[in-house]
Amino acid sequence: MSLLEVTDLRVSFPTSDGLVQAVRGVSFRVERGQILGIVGESGSGKTVCTQTLLRLTPGADVSGSAMFDGVNLLTLSTDQMRHIRGAQIAAIFQDPLTSLHPLYRVGWQISEMVRAHDKSVTKAQAQRRVVDLLTQVGIPQAARRADDYPHQFSGGMRQRAMIAMALALNPKLIIADEPTTALDATVQAQILDLLVRLQREYDTAIIMITHDLGVIADLADDVMVMYAGRAAEYADRRTLFYRAHHPYTKGLLESIPGSTGARERLVPIAGQPPSLINVPSGCGFHPRCGYVMDRCIDETPPLITVAGEGDGHRSACFLPPRAVGLGADAEALRQEAVAVNRTGRASAIAEASAPAAPAKGNVA
């Protein structure tokens, strides 16, 4: 049995402007000791999806199921959830400065969480645990720095302190919500290496939420690409990078700067993510898709297997199942499908979503 199995999760927020459909029928699973990457642009529903698992979306209308170690998280009472949150499922948020209380010492905040979940632990025992944890995550002179306030830590050290807090009770699952976004490249690499080392040491499952495919390439076992509140593609890491099927995933991969230093123009995805109050009909990505076909405008594509029976690669797209990867053969299959299944309405959308040609004289 999977450690976490989410089925048809739907999360919406009633507002004065209308119903915000933040998550629209997402399903995924996380095995013990596995790292699942969830990637997508801002507003795709990544954070809401995982915060709902922790019951941190007050006022939301939630349906579906989230079975964690045999228990449905979405049906637990507040008291029952309090025993799971922090102890069995921990979270590392994007900005540690807003996650740590500015008026309390870092060590006290970690020890307070330990003692809140285990009443038998004394203050002295909790303090020793704090020093051990800060040492594990690479805080120098941990015994002394535990008495510092959050503002006395650098950004990287604050994030390490949040990781120490997440590990304090040896949780089965850690949800890391863009934990390296505010850090420079060197510190980001250190934090990612730390997460991988601790994950292997404790056999902890991790959900890594990010918009950075470079982070996913370093960490994830499986990857779920989200767009407009739905899963656009789901595959293991290697399959996603080398045999991507969904045009949105293809667009994300093609917008990554190359590592060769060549002076190549980036290929952005045209347009902007849609409003989750007024989600486009059919495929949510169709207004920005260069491969849009007639049926994409009115029909919602299901998430189905595309690259072989039982291989776990699924995509929510009407393009031929064999059109995987970024090579010429896959592109020929895409263009063939488009030529047969596109008429005037879809052609206008595709023309509007095509990237603009570079002006003469610009660096290519």
**Given this model, what pLDDT does residue 1 score?**
77
Q: Do residues 52 and 197 share a domain? A: yes
Q: Do residues 116 and 200 share a domain? A: yes
Q: Do residues 8 and 85 share a domain? A: yes
Task: Give per-residue pLDDT as tens, 118-167.
Answer: 888 899 999 999 999 999 888 999 999 999 999 999 888 998 899 889 88
Task: Give per-residue pLDDT as tens, 315-333.
Answer: 999 999 999 998 999 999 9
Q: Report the alpha-carbon distance of residue 159 to residue 179 in Å, rounded.
A: 7
Contacts 24+ apart (CB under 8 A), 68-77: 68/3, 68/4, 68/173, 69/3, 69/4, 69/172, 70/1
Tokens 């995933």 belong to 249
* Domain range for 140: 4-226
Position 36 in a domain? yes
Cα 37 → chain centroid: 5
Q: Using the CB atoms, write b or e for 123-135: b if 16+ within 10 Å.
A: eeebbebbbebbb
- Supply the CATH number for residue 158's domain: 3.40.50.300
175: nearest Cα among 23, 25, 49: 49
Q: Which residues of the chain have a pLDDT value below 50? A: 357-364
Position 243 in a domain? no
Q: Do residues 192 and 103 share a domain? A: yes
Q: Do residues 169 and 34 share a domain? A: yes
Q: Do residues 15 and 96 share a domain? A: yes
Q: Do residues 221 and 288 share a domain? A: no
- Cβ count near 328 (within 10 Å): 8
Position 262 in a domain? no
In the structure encoding, which two tokens stand for residue 82, read together? 């309090």
Position 234 in a domain? no
**Given this model, what pLDDT does residue 170 score?**
87
Q: Which helix (H) or strand (E) holds 36?
A: strand 35-39
Q: Do residues 15 and 86 share a domain? A: yes
Strands (E), 159-204: 173-177
Position 242 in a domain? no
Q: Do residues 201 and 291 share a domain? A: no
Position 51 in a domain? yes
How many folded domains does the chain comprise?
2
Position 168 in a domain? yes
Position 251 in a domain? no
pTM of this structure? 0.90
